[in-house]
Amino acid sequence: MLDLHGYGPAIFKGAILTLEVAFLSLFIALLLGMLAAVARLSKNKVLNGIAMVYTTVIRGVPDLVLMLLIFFGAQIGVNAFSDVLYDRYGIDFYININEFVAGVTTIGFIFGAYMGETFRGAFLAVEHGQIEAGRAYGMSAWQVFKRITVPQMIRHAIPGIGNNWLVLVKTTALVSVIGLEDMVRLAKEAAGAVHEPFLFFIPVAAVYLALTSVSEYVLKRLEIRFSAGVVRA
């Protein structure tokens, strides 16, 4: 359909890669966010402090700087680590941090901080009487968490998760800067080769626009679904 001087199929593959990065990092972000929120609300001072530093520092630094730091910095860290292993114990162990791993972990790590704040707010929004009632029924803390808190906090968290997801999708464009062959990078290379920037960047922009539009629609449906049984004023 769209040939784009023969670059069409490659850019399509890049679009698939963008989607992979987005979904994988969303998964990591949700996991880290849940951990951060639980740590933030726990009575353990150390856990609480770690989670607070994590959510504050990460949200105060641009994504691109963190991405460059992790991509270039982590490789040197890993190299130093494998040197020590080899010198001391003779273990030949080496990991090459590639762009894909660096991109996905960085975006997941960044949005974990945002998700953490979203989840924290959602946990706090669950009525305390509900939790007390669970306790009164003789449920353990874990049972209360699993059966009462989580199902009710999801409803409060969905709008926040949705906003974070929309920002995350747009942030995936940054992986092109650290060299991952996503659709942005491919479009840039093609535009440079053929000298037609609009021809390549506008379709890529349209893909992002379609992605955010579809996401918004799905999120609206999800919100309705999870608000079942809530009486609106």
Partner 1 sequence: MYETIEQLLANNDIFTLSTVLEYWDGLVMTVQLVFLSLIIGLVLAIPLAILRTSENWLVNRSVWLFTYIFRGTPLLIQLYIIYYGVAYIDGIQQSMFWPIVREAYVPTLFAFVLNTAAYTTEIFRGAIVATGRGEIEAAMAYGMSRGKCMRRIILPSAFRRALPAYSNEVIFMLHASSIASVVTIIDITGAARDVYARYYAPFEAFTFAALIYLCLTFILVFGFKQWEKRWHRHLRPLSS
What is the per-residue DSSP string for 48-84? HHHHHHHHHHHHTS-HHHHHHIIIIIHHHHHHHHHHH
195 to each of 42, 187, 191, 201, how far by Cα in Å?
56, 11, 5, 12
Measured from the CB atom, the residue of 30 and 204 that comes closer to partner 1 is 204
Task: Name the region of 96 (left: φ>0; alpha: ψ -120 to 50; beta: rest).
Answer: beta
Measured from the CB atom, the residue of 134 and 185 that comes closer to partner 1 is 185
CB atoms closer than 10 angstroms to residue 115: 29
For residue 134, what are its two tokens? Answer: 């669970």
Task: Establish if 96 lies at the interface with partner 1 (CB under 8 A).
Answer: no
CA dist., res. 6 & res. 125, Å (int): 53
Angle CA 209–212–213, to nearest 5: 80
Q: Which range in 29-37, 43-51, 123-131, 188-196 contacts partner 1 by CB under 8 A?
A: 188-196
Q: How many residues bind partner 1 (CB under 8 A)?
A: 38
Which residue in 24, 78, 150, 177 binds partner 1 (CB under 8 A)? 177
Q: What sign results for the dihedral spanned by CA atoms 58, 106, 26, 63?
A: positive
Which residue in 173, 194, 219, 222 binds partner 1 (CB under 8 A)? 173
Task: Establish if 115 lies at the interface with partner 1 (CB under 8 A).
Answer: no
Q: Which range in 31-39, 89-97, 127-135, 209-217 contacts partner 1 by CB under 8 A?
A: 209-217
Measured from the CB atom, the residue of 109 and 149 that comes closer to partner 1 is 109
Task: Establish if 180 lies at the interface with partner 1 (CB under 8 A).
Answer: no
Cβ 131 to partner 1, closest distance in Å?
27
Contacting positions for partner 1 (CB under 8 A): 57, 60-66, 68-69, 72-73, 76-77, 170-174, 176-177, 184, 187-188, 191-192, 195-198, 201-202, 204-205, 208-209, 212-213
